[in-house]
Amino acid sequence: MRRGKIKLLLALVVLLALGAYYYVTLPAINIHSSGLWMVLLALLLIALVFSVGRKIKVQTIRDFRDLRGEIRARRAPKLFLGLFLLVLVVYLAGSILSSPIVNAGKYRDLLVPETGDFAEDIKQIKYNQIPLLDKDSAEILGNRKMGSMVDMVSQFEVSTLYSQINYQGRPVRVTPLVYASPIKWFTNRKNGIPAYISIDMATQNTELVKIPEGIKYSESEYFNRNIYRHLRFHYPTYIFDQLSFEIDEEGTPYWICPVKKFSIGLFGGQTIGKVVLCNAVTGECESMDVEDCPTWVDRVYPADLLIQLYDYHGTLINGFINSVLGQKGCLVTTDGYNYLAQDDDVWVYTGVTSVSGDRSNVGFVLMNQRTMETKYYEVAGAEEFSAMGSAEGQVQNLGYRATFPLLLNISSEPTYFIALKDNAGLVKKYAMVNIQRYQNVAIGDTVPECEQTYVKMLGLKNKGATADGDMQTVKGKIRRIAQAVVEGNTHFYIMLEGRDEVFDVPVTDFLDIIRYEEGDEIALSYAKGDAVCTVLSLDDGRAEDSASQEEAGDQAKDAASQEKADGQTDHETEGQQAAAAGSEEETSSDEAGQEESDAKGQTETELTLDENAGML
């Protein structure tokens, strides 16, 4: 009786331990989850030990034989041992049958890229759509913005997620705030997290967007409102991949939760089969197939998964044995990737090189993070790190560091666009490097200046990155001018007579703006924006008028010169006759002048001798 109570108590302890394990680790109850098989093996092993009913001590062969005989003699240990071995065999067999060794063709076809045309597929994007910042620079801006929020900085910190999305046609990184510590979670959990940070990657405008209802479901929660625990309790069989934080077109925060799908054996051939959208404020969840995902969602397929799938296709193109030995035709992606905004989607860009590890690319791929659509472009040239080194070499005296390149179409030329940062992580200059001729590097303080230098260097026809009429020009008299400090940088805001737009002129890019006052003429090139128009180039109207006057003066001077030349032509005959008539007179005058000069010289010489004699 007492032994039965002890066993019951031990069983309760095991159940409690399993419950705690499930609550903390959140394993998926799915046969495709390796964690589930490990738990089953552990449980069967524990059950086997308890079913033996005595302390197991095996030191000699005789002890092992006694234990084996006891297991055979009793039904429970025999059952648990058989189940343990069965589960172990199934797990090992499933692992082997799921590997690329026996399924090279299936792994190769998980992702099948299309061959695209660079000039047709990759359009020239607008200046206000080029993401100028990488994740590290975005983190600096986010932390700086958080530091200026006195009412929040002591209670919250900025998450390191910084998901890059397309928001209303612009490249943006968004990230939520997190509780600064468990104590601050305890004191603020009722109202939730009050805001998230949005950073425009083109204009560097950083905004802290407040949520009146508060973000209740996040990674920094500790119990049931933790986003992973919330998802597990709603979908106990789903195996989730990397979660991302996004906002819809109205600015409502969501957690985008991809669900893994395994199509090769038990554990192989991972892609994404479903996606769960979880409202970060209310916790409301909606599960759907990938094909039914709304278009405002940008990150269904994690970038690392897409890179892995393409590597499977490139290395297993001629089978597994060839990928290890001959490696004929084997290609892999380069180390690193970046994001490209196109057609209201986010595409992962990375170069493609041979497995030999040389310093050149044979092409590059673009992979859609929402649909997994993949396009391969056969453009041979320098790999990304060679281009980064070439750009850094142009500013080695300044010590700037290059970010991972972004692929752009500049006048139908595949071009690496690189931001150059100082030691503080702030972007100071921009570089454009031709992929096929990476020794050609253009440097500029602004994107338009960099592009103009690049186009001129390569002798291209300047179609401009501002295709589709993005860049507009205006000229007028300044009606009002004001300045403000935004994120530590001085900006001048200008309004012109007869126009309602507000033009933003950053002093870091256009220092000459400080010379202007109200009433001055000015000419601007700008990109149209919702609240303000971002100035892309600055021109002085007065300088233009001066230039026009100078040009008019030059034309008048040319006309006078021509008139003088015509007058000389008309009187050329008379001049020749006068010259002939006066020839003899000129000769006589020259002779007389020469005699007079000789006499004068002799007189001066005599005077000089008399002076010297007087001195003696």
Residue 519, pLDDT above cutoff 80: yes
Quickly list DSSP for 388-447. Answer: HHHHHHHTTTTT-EEPPPEEEEETTEEEEEEEEE-TTS-EEEEEEEESS-TT-EEEESSH
Distances (CA, A) of 336 to 15, 323, 359, 384, 403: 45, 22, 14, 8, 11
Closest to 508 (Cα-Cα) out of 520, 491, 521, 523: 491
What lies within 8 Å, CB to CB, of 400 at 6+ separation is 392, 420, 421, 422, 428, 429
Phi, psi of 517 (to 5 degrees): -135, 170
Average pLDDT over residues 536-540: 72
Distances (CA, A) of 307 to 105, 223, 364: 18, 34, 12
Average pLDDT over residues 403-426: 90
- Give the three-class secondary structure for 135: helix
Distance CA 448, CA 397 (A): 23
**466 vs 3, more confident:** 3
Average pLDDT over residues 58-67: 59
pLDDT, the chain, mean: 82
Instruction: State the pLDDT at residue 80.
Output: 86
For CATH 2.40.50.140, list the domain ranges present in the chain.
470-543
CB 349 within 8 A of CB 303: no
End-to-end CA distance of the chain: 152
Closest to 535 (Cα-Cα) out of 478, 485, 494: 494
Distance CA 478, CA 10 (A): 84
User: What is the dihedral sign for C-alpha 326, 329, 334, 339?
Assistant: negative
**610 vs 191, more confident:** 191
CB contact burial 506-524 (16+ within 10 A = b; e otherwise): beebbeebeebeeeebbbb
Distance CA 432, CA 406 (A): 10
The H or E element containing residue 227 is helix 227-234
Phi, psi of 372 (to 5 degrees): 70, 10
Instruction: State the pLDDT at residue 246.
Output: 97
Instruction: State the pLDDT at residue 609.
Output: 30
Query: Residue 196's beta-bridge partner residues?
Result: 176, 209
**471 vs 592, more confident:** 471
Distance CA 206, CA 31 (A): 45
What is the three-state SS of 190-214?
Answer: CCCEEEEEEEECCCCCEEEEEEEEE
Q: What is the CATH number of domain 470-543?
A: 2.40.50.140
Distance CA 261, CA 394 (A): 47
Distance CA 502, CA 514 (A): 17
Residue 608, pLDDT above cutoff 80: no
Instruction: State the pLDDT at residue 132.
Output: 86
Residue 201, pLDDT above cutoff 60: yes
Distance CA 437, CA 407 (A): 14
HSE on the CB side for 88, CA within 13 Å? 11
Strand 114-115, strand 374-377: pairing: parallel
Instruction: State the pLDDT at residue 98.
Output: 94
Instruction: State the pLDDT at residue 109.
Output: 95
| pLDDT, tens digit, 9 for 90 and up, residues 291-339 | 999 999 999 999 999 999 999 999 999 999 999 998 998 999 999 999 9
**Burial class, 605, CB count within 10 angstroms (exposed 0-12 / middle 13-18 / buried 19+):** exposed
Residue 586, pLDDT above cutoff 60: no
| pLDDT, tens digit, 9 for 90 and up, residues 238-270 | 999 999 999 999 999 999 999 999 999 999 999
Instruction: State the pLDDT at residue 446.
Output: 86
| pLDDT, tens digit, 9 for 90 and up, residues 543-553 | 444 444 444 44
Phi, psi of 223 (to 5 degrees): -120, -130
| pLDDT, tens digit, 9 for 90 and up, residues 86-99 | 999 999 999 999 99
Instruction: State the pLDDT at residue 69.
Output: 64
Closest to 219 (Cα-Cα) out of 155, 271, 289, 278: 278
Distance CA 448, CA 509 (A): 11
What lies within 8 Å, CB to CB, of 604 at 6+ separation is none
Instruction: State the pLDDT at residue 580.
Output: 39
Strand 360-361, strand 381-382: pairing: antiparallel
